[in-house]
Amino acid sequence: MRNATISRVVPSSIPRPRVVRVRGRSMEPTLHEGDLLLTLWGARPRRGCVAVVHLPPDRAGADRPVSVKRITGPDPVEGSRWWLDSDNPREGVTSFDVGSIAPDDVLATVVARLWPRPGKVSTRHTG
C-alpha cells in the first residue's frame, strides 16, 4: 500500500536528506501551505517531533497522501506505535481519526524550514 517511489528513496538505515513542500493547513501555526522543509528520511522519530508519515488508507480503502504530522508520543495502549496529531486542532487527520501508526510508517523527520523564514522546526511536548 505504501507509495513505492518514496519508500525506495531510503534503501538503507542511514538517514538521507530530502526537501518536501507542505500542502494544506493542518500543521498551522507551525507550518504553512507552501513551506519548504528539510527532512531526514529514515531518521528515528522522537516524542514531540514533526514527521513525514504514511497514514492508513481511508474508509473506502483508498491510500491517503504522504502527510506531515506531529508525533505526540507512543500510543497509550500499544507503546510500540506512534500517536499522531495535527498542530491545527480544526484541521487534519490525526490518530484520533485513524489510530496510531507503526514505526515503519514514519518515513522521515522534519529538521528545519528552508523557506520562507528558515529555521529549526522544534519538537513540542504536549499533555
Partner 1 sequence: MRLPALFSVTDVSAHCDLPCGVYDPAQARIEAESIKGIIAKVADNDDPDFRTRAVLIKEQRSQLVKEHLWVLWTDYFKPPHFEKYPNLHTLINEATKLAGASGTKGQFDAAKADELLSKIDEIDAIFKETKQA
Residues that bind partner 1 (CB under 8 A): 6, 9, 16-27, 31, 33, 36-37, 41, 52, 58, 64-69, 72, 76-77, 86, 88-97, 126-127
> What residues pair up with 110 in beta bridges, in sequence order?
39
Least gap, CB of 10 to partner 1 (angstroms): 9
Least gap, CB of 45 to partner 1 (angstroms): 15
Least gap, CB of 112 to partner 1 (angstroms): 14
Least gap, CB of 54 to partner 1 (angstroms): 11
Sign of CA dihedral 85, 32, 40, 118: negative
Q: What is the C-alpha to C-alpha distance for residues 1 and 42, in angstroms, rounded to an integer?
A: 18
CB nearer to partner 1: give 9 or 102: 9
Asked if 88 and 29 touch (Cβ cutoff 8 Å), the reply is: yes
Q: What is the C-alpha to C-alpha distance for residues 38 and 58, in angstroms, rounded to an integer?
A: 28
SS3 105: helix
CB nearer to partner 1: give 96 or 102: 96
CB nearer to partner 1: give 20 or 43: 20
